[in-house]
Amino acid sequence: MSIALETSELAKRYGSTWALRDCSVSIPQGRVAALVGPNGAGKTTLLQLAIGISKPTAGQVEVFGWSPHEQPLLVLARVGFVAQDHPLYRGFTVSEMLRVGRKLNPRWDQQLARERLDRLGIPVEQRVGKLSGGQQAQVALVLALAKRPELLLLDEPVASLDPLARREFLQSLMDAVAEGGLTVLLSSHILADLERVCDYLVILSASRVQLAGDIDRIVADHKLLTGPREGAERIAARHTVIHERHSNRQSTLLVAGDRLAAQAACSAEPAWLAETPSLEEIVLAYLGQPVVSSAPAQPRLEVAS
Amino acid sequence: MIWLTWRQQRLEALIGGAVLAALTALLVLTGLHIAGVYHDGNLAACSLGKSQPAACGDSVLRFGARFSNLVNLTNWFNMVPLLIGILAAAPIVLEFEHGTHRLAWTQTITRRRWLATRLTLAFGVAVAAGLGFSLLMTWWRGPFDQLTGRLDTNAFDFEGVVPIAYTVFAASIVLAVGTILRRTLPAVAVAIVSFLALRLGIEGWVRYDHYLSPLHKTWPVGAPAPTGEAAGYLGDNGLTFSGAPDAARRMFDSCGVTETNPRALQGVSHCLRHHHVMQYAIYQPSSRFWTFQGIEASIFLALALALVAASVWWVNHRLV
């Protein structure tokens, strides 16, 4: 399968602060990838490096094999981008916004834009500043999609929206994905929204990639082991423990490893129970881990695609 | 891109256009009146470089006095280049403030081309408006300039090329400060303060003292002043007398210099001439107009160039 976005040892520094470090990740074509991490983890930086409005301090980033900052027009024509807070010219009417898109993009699809706006019930003669936040986000998405992009980058697209607008936005996004030929990378610090939409996950924390891969594979490759506290150390010795939680009597360990290994562990310790964790439990476990050393600190899950 | 730039500058262009139109109307109406008075008074005969008929001194003074309020009013027009510069550059800064540059830069257009188009249009408008303002003021001030030259502040600041340089400079400060702060109002505030400080500083302490050395002339009391003295910029003038200070005081007392009666003044100047008192003037002749214009415009344009270069560097290397 070909790769839409690939970075290797990508790093970005602002002054003395590293916004992103040692970031090696690849998003296969056709995936809807969630970029998850706390605020300040480097999500925005990674997306800005991918579209080329920011230059890497070190490392490489390639979009469909091109460097975004060295061959900007090749990349820009193929990538749709919705920046954080979906900036739009607030004094423009919606149809003037479309005119901007038409003037500045060679692959612009006016019909697609008009149809999508019609379906959403957004009047084109309305001023953008007078639209609701949800409608503005939708207009920004329409502008990005009418470029006919092969890769769509969305930076916290739903963070500022109310739950209803959030759902409608993600529905629009899923409709666009269903039409085919689109790879999506969207960042968020709210996982619940993304779980329905995404099939690929990149966890970014403390400027580093903690985990990246297919969501199904990630869920299958982690187990939640629960048992009496006194057995916890023996279990931990045989597994890569991502996160552990202890109460007075009981211990809960989130471990990396496949089903068979987990079963074997539990049959050796009959009091222990292996469960499939939810995606949220896995993400929180990875985000909860302190990161200290400069080498990729966490056990990385290698996911062949 | 050109359509987008125009659409983004439209409001500012309309405001600037309205201000300039009002200004034009005011200047054309008063200017026609001034030109009429100048013509009817046959003042052309009194213009610089002509052999002046005896009546000229009085009629030139009366002409000047009649319109002095109007000419003083034009001091406010020093704000016009500042206003044009702010209106030309603010839309670019607003884009950085609102983050919409990220929308523009992620369309299929390079940052370089986006910036080149925005700057070309903003500064093109600034130069055109500055030039229009200069031409209008030069026409309006024509009668005054014929009589008194163009080197004094209320002519020099509005004519020739310096209004264009001031406009471009004002736009550059707004651009540079706004690009770095990404805030429009603080950028405009900084621009207003630094523009006025530099303009007043150069006018008050640099232009007439240091662009070229001022000329010193002395001549006998009561004799006509050397040509050019009245027409240029007068730095200092008065009476000069070689002798001890107390001798001067005694001599002034004996000539009755405190008298203000014009007929008595005739006697006074006769008395002073008798004591070898000379009149002197330190001045810049009006023939230096274009040299001074060139020097002043170069200063402001060089600063503007440095500010624009800094802004371009910042946009290309620092702005995300």
Residue A298 pLDDT more than 60?
A: no
- Alpha helix (H) residue ranges in A123-268: 133-145, 163-178, 191-195, 215-220, 232-238, 259-268
Q: Is A73 on the interface with B (CB under 8 A)?
A: yes
- What is the structure's pLDDT at B231? 67
Taking the CA atoms of A34, A35, A39 and A43 in sequence, report the sign of the dihedral they define.
negative
Mark which of A216, A248, A273 sits at the end of a domain.
A216
- Amino acid identity of residue B243, one-letter, is G
pTM: predicted TM-score of the whole model, two decimal places: 0.88
pLDDT digits (tens, 9 = 90+) for B222-247: 777 766 555 678 888 888 877 777 77
Rounded CA-CA distance A211/A39 in Å is 17
Q: Are residues A122 and A243 both part of a single domain?
A: no
B1·A51 Cβ contact <8 A: no
In chain B, which residue's Cα lies nearest the Cα of A54? Answer: B320
Among B11, B106, B110, the residue with its CB nearest the CB of A81 is B106
Residue A299 pLDDT more than 60?
A: no
B109·A99 Cβ contact <8 A: no
Range of the domain at A168: 3-216
Q: Is B247 on the interface with A (CB under 8 A)?
A: no
What are the chain A neighbours of B4 within 8 Å (beta carbons)? 100, 103-104
Q: What is the mean pLDDT of chain B?
A: 90
Is A304 part of any domain? no
Rounded CA-CA distance A24/A61 in Å is 9
Which of A206-210, A245-249, B15-19, B276-280 holds the top average pLDDT? B15-19
Q: Is A249 on the interface with B (CB under 8 A)?
A: no
What are the chain A neighbours of B8 within 8 Å (beta carbons)? 89
Residue A290 pLDDT more than 60?
A: no
Greater pLDDT, B134 or A220: B134
Q: Are residues A239 and A201 both part of a single domain?
A: no
Query: DSSP readout, A230-276?
Result: GGHHHHHHHSEEEEEEE-SSEEEEEEES-HHHHHHHHHHSTT-EEEP
E-strand ranges in B13-126 read: none
Among B11, B102, B108, the residue with its CB nearest the CB of A83 is B102
- What is the structure's pLDDT at A292? 39
pLDDT digits (tens, 9 = 90+) for B65-105: 999 999 999 999 999 999 999 999 999 999 999 999 999 99
E-strand ranges in chain B read: 215-220, 233-240, 278-284
B103·A87 Cβ contact <8 A: yes
Q: Are residues A185 and A252 both part of a single domain?
A: no
Which of A24-33, B230-239, B268-277 holds the top average pLDDT? A24-33
Among A48, A79, A104, the residue with its CB nearest the CB of B1 is A104
The H-or-E segment that residue A201 falls in is strand A200-205
- What is the structure's pLDDT at B78? 95
Greater pLDDT, B238 or A200: A200
- Amino acid identity of residue A44, one-letter, is T
Rounded CA-CA distance A39/A189 in Å is 7
Q: Are residues A87 and A210 both part of a single domain?
A: yes
Q: How many domains does chain A have?
A: 2
Residue B54 pLDDT more than 80?
A: no
Is A292 part of any domain? no
Q: What is the mean pLDDT of residues B244-254?
A: 78
Q: Are residues A232 and A255 both part of a single domain?
A: yes
Best of A100, A102, A136, A153 to substitute, by most chain B Cβ atoms within 10 angstroms, is: A100
- What is the structure's pLDDT at B42? 86
Rounded CA-CA distance A56/A48 in Å is 10
Residue A303 pLDDT more than 50?
A: no
Interface ipTM > 0.85: yes
In chain A, which residue's Cα lies nearest the Cα of B318? Answer: A54
Residue B269 pLDDT class (50, 70, 90 cuts): confident
In chain B, which residue's Cα lies nearest the Cα of A75? Answer: B108
The CA distance from A247 to the nearest CA of chain B, in Å, is 47
What separation in angstroms does the CA of A193 have from each of A162, A178, A213, A258, B181? 12, 18, 18, 27, 35
Kindly report the CATH number assigned to the domain that includes residue A103.
Answer: 3.40.50.300
- What is the structure's pLDDT at A28? 95
- What is the structure's pLDDT at B205? 94
A147·B100 Cβ contact <8 A: no
Q: Is B13 on the interface with A (CB under 8 A)?
A: no
Q: Are residues A176 and A235 both part of a single domain?
A: no
- What is the structure's pLDDT at A59? 96
Q: Are residues A210 and A243 both part of a single domain?
A: no
In chain B, which residue's Cα lies nearest the Cα of A88? Answer: B100
Q: Is A174 on the interface with B (CB under 8 A)?
A: no
Rounded CA-CA distance B127/B313 in Å is 22
Tell me which of A93-102, B96-105, B264-273 is least confident: B264-273
Kindly report the CATH number assigned to the domain that includes residue A264.
Answer: 3.30.70
Q: What is the mean pLDDT of chain A?
A: 88
Q: Give the torsion through C-alpha atoms of A119, A123, A125, A130, to 10 deg.
A: -130
What are the chain A neighbours of B99 within 8 Å (beta carbons)? 83-85, 87
Q: Give the torsion through C-alpha atoms of B100, B104, B105, B110, to 10 deg.
A: -150
Contacts of B160 (CB under 8 A, 6+ apart): B134, B138, B150, B289, B290, B293, B297
Tell me which of A238-242, B106-110, B160-164 is least confident: A238-242
Mark which of A199, A216, A233 sits at the end of a domain.
A216
CA angle, B60 as apex, B58 and B66 as ends, to 5°? 100
Q: Is A15 on the interface with B (CB under 8 A)?
A: no
Q: What is the mean pLDDT of residues B104-108?
A: 96
Greater pLDDT, B196 or B286: B196
Rounded CA-CA distance A287/A297 in Å is 12
Query: Which chain A residues in 175-214 lie under 8 Å from chain B, judged by CB atoms?
Result: none
Contacts of B65 (CB under 8 A, 6+ apart): none
Contacts of A120 (CB under 8 A, 6+ apart): A135, A138, A142, A168, A172
Q: Are residues A205 and A225 both part of a single domain?
A: no
Greater pLDDT, B40 or A297: B40
Contacts of B234 (CB under 8 A, 6+ apart): B281, B282, B283
Rounded CA-CA distance B102/A173 in Å is 21
Determine the length of chain B. 320
Q: Are residues A246 and A142 both part of a single domain?
A: no
Rounded CA-CA distance A229/A218 in Å is 26
Q: Are residues A151 and A228 both part of a single domain?
A: no
Q: Are residues A212 and A225 both part of a single domain?
A: no
Q: Are residues A146 and A276 both part of a single domain?
A: no
Residue B59 pLDDT more than 90?
A: no
B107·A99 Cβ contact <8 A: no
A91·B11 Cβ contact <8 A: yes
Residue A115 pLDDT more than 50?
A: yes
